[in-house]
């Protein structure tokens, strides 16, 4: 019986203490999170599907927000008064000045309608091809920016300047018969006209500009990247599609997007390695 007791004690002594098991668990969790945060090779089919579904969802949700016309016009009046009190209400002056130059305002109408989407997709493709290690983090910043903007459309309906009453803004798309805005002319019926705050033209163009300025090689390309959101700001004001404060809202959303990236990766997208295991950028 004594030998059995000694054997049982030896068996108990050989078993690892519960504290060691608990110590191993956080380490395994850290390793799991580190693996999730590590840059990995993007899959083309997945990225194409993700972007297509995400944009479809964005458009669906944005246009599904109830068009609260009265509230949107009241909010526009408040924004206009606030800008006047801050002495930054330059939108009407810019709108009338640029509208007097037909070729310029028509060009801006088409800029507003196309470059917003074309250049954003182009930068994503460029990141995927030449900066695969930074692609997922930069894409996360863009997606988080857009997601929080949807909350803004729902919580704060806002009419664009061109739809305000008694302020004499010019709807440049209607006047010049161009298709420079999904919310003007015949396309107004399929787009939420009161989703102006925040401006994703500014949010997306600034994301493009920062990405190009941070990662492009030639200096002239970096300069063009930095100027792109500035040009976009002029366009959204000249076409009377946004207030200056809408642009501020877009920048705040972008700040949130980059904060999400930093919280997840513990780094900015542009400080991550350019390459990932198994793939080298050309």
What percent of the chain is predicted at pLDDT more than 90? 58
Average per-residue pLDDT for the chain: 83
99 pLDDT more than 90: yes
Higher pLDDT residue, 162 or 63? 162
Q: What gap in Å lies between CA 140 and CA 24, rounded to an integer?
A: 31
pTM more than 0.75? yes
Q: Which of 17-21, 156-160, 169-173, 203-207 has the highest mean pLDDT?
A: 203-207
* Residue keyed to tokens 């200056």: 244
Query: Average of pLDDT values for 76-89?
Result: 97
Q: pLDDT at position 54, please?
A: 74
90 pLDDT more than 60: yes
pLDDT tens digits, 38-61: 556 667 767 777 777 777 777 776
Query: Average of pLDDT values for 6-26?
Result: 52
Higher pLDDT residue, 25 or 216? 216
70 pLDDT more than 90: no
Query: Average of pLDDT values for 84-112?
Result: 96
Higher pLDDT residue, 157 or 12? 157
What percent of the chain is predicted at pLDDT more than 70? 75
pLDDT tens digits, 130-155: 999 999 999 999 999 999 998 888 88
Query: Average of pLDDT values for 151-178?
Result: 91
Tell me the pLDDT band of 83, cut-offs 50, 70 and 90.
very high
Q: pLDDT at position 53, please?
A: 79
Q: pLDDT at position 11, please?
A: 47
97 pLDDT more than 90: yes
């Amino acid at each position: 019986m004594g030998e059995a007791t000694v054997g049982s004690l030896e068996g108990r002594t050989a078993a690892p203490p519960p504290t060691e098991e608990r110590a191993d668990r956080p380490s395994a969790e850290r390793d799991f999170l580190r693996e999730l945060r590590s840059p990995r090779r993007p899959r083309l089919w997945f990225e194409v599907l993700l972007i297509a579904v995400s944009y479809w969802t964005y458009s669906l949700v944005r246009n599904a927000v109830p068009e609260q016309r009265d509230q949107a016009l009241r909010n526009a009046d408040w924004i206009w008064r606030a800008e006047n009190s801050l002495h930054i209400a330059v939108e009407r002056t810019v709108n009338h000045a640029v509208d007097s130059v037909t070729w310029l305002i028509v060009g801006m109408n088409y800029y507003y309608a196309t470059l917003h989407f074309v250049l954003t997709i182009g930068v994503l493709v460029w990141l995927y091809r030449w900066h695969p290690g930074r692609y997922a983090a930069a894409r996360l910043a863009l997606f988080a920016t857009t997601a929080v903007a949807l909350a803004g459309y729902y919580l704060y309906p806002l009419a664009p300047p061109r739809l305000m009453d008694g302020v004499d803004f010019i709807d440049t798309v209607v006047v010049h018969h161009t298709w420079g805005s999904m919310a003007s002319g015949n396309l107004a019926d399929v787009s939420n006209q009161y989703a102006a705050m925040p401006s994703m033209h500014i949010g997306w163009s600034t994301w493009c500009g920062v990405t190009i300025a941070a990662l492009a090689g030639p200096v002239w390309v970096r300069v063009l990247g930095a100027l792109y959101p500035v040009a976009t700001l002029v366009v959204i004001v000249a076409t009377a599609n946004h207030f200056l404060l809408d642009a501020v809202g877009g920048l705040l959303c972008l700040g949130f997007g980059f904060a999400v990236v930093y919280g997840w990766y513990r780094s900015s997208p542009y400080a991550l390695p350019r390459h990932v295991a198994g793939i080298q950028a050309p």
